[in-house]
Amino acid sequence: MTTVFVALGANLNQPLARIQAAQQALAALAEPNSLRHSRLYSSKPMGPADQPDYVNGVSVFNTPLTPHSLLDALQDIEQREGRVRKDERWGPRALDLDLLLYGEQHIDDERLTVPHYGMKQREFVLYPLADLAPGLVLPCGTSLSSLLQQCPLNGMTPLSEQ
């Protein structure tokens, strides 16, 4: 079993419902009783500003799946929840699931980069990650707490208590 962290984001087609459906779907990929979710947050879009705010969170679980099998399963969940892959980077989407961490592994190939390439700068990843693992140290040796000190909330607000 490998411990994985997955970021969840949505801003179209009832984003809160899309995130909650994805959280339920992750249970099928997780070792029993290992799935936990951060609080959900409202955050400003990272890309074009003329789109709705996002709902974001992070989930952690243990899985027997290989990294690429997990990626395939995450993309299948996205598709079931209405994700349409377009060329617009950081555009609006029904659901986005990003594999942030796969144990301590470093993966960099044509399909997958782990740790996720942008996670160190994104408040909508770092703060939910801290809900689940405040003492986390990334595979590169950087502590989550040091990243949080350099990352303002940028208007992000919790939608619920943990």
pLDDT at 85 (0 to 100): 62
pLDDT at 51 (0 to 100): 85
Instruction: Reply yes or no on whether 85 is catalytic.
Output: no
Instruction: Reply yes or no on whether 93 is catalytic.
Output: yes
Comparing 92 with 156, which gets the higher pLDDT?
Answer: 156
Kindly name the residue from 18, 76, 87, 93 that is annotated as catalytic.
93
On the question of pLDDT at 7 being above 70, the answer is yes
The dihedral built from the CA positions of residue 86, 91, 92 and 94, taken in this order, carries a sign that is: positive
pLDDT at 32 (0 to 100): 96
The ranges assigned to domains in the chain are: 2-158
What is residue 55's three-state secondary structure?
strand
On the question of pLDDT at 69 being above 70, the answer is yes
Per-residue pLDDT tens for 77-122? 998 887 666 645 556 788 999 999 999 999 999 999 999 988 999 9
CATH 3.30.70.560 fits 2-158, yes or no: yes
Which range (56-70, 89-103, 145-159) has the least confidence?
A: 89-103
Angle, helix 15-26 to helix 67-80, in steps of 10 degrees? 140
On the question of pLDDT at 131 being above 80, the answer is yes
Instruction: Reply yes or no on whether 108 is catalytic.
Output: no
pLDDT band at 161 (very low <50, low <70, confident <90, very high): low
Per-residue pLDDT tens for 17-53? 999 999 999 999 999 999 999 999 999 987 777 889 9
On the question of pLDDT at 151 being above 70, the answer is yes
Kindly name the residue from 50, 76, 87, 98 that is annotated as catalytic.
98
pLDDT at 86 (0 to 100): 61
- Please state the φ and ψ torsions of residue 47, each to the nearest 5 degrees: -95, -135
Instruction: Please list the residues that pair with 107 across neighbouring strands.
Output: 114
Kindly name the residue from 72, 76, 83, 89 that is annotated as catalytic.
83
On the question of pLDDT at 142 being above 90, the answer is yes
Kindly name the residue from 96, 108, 109, 122 that is annotated as catalytic.
96
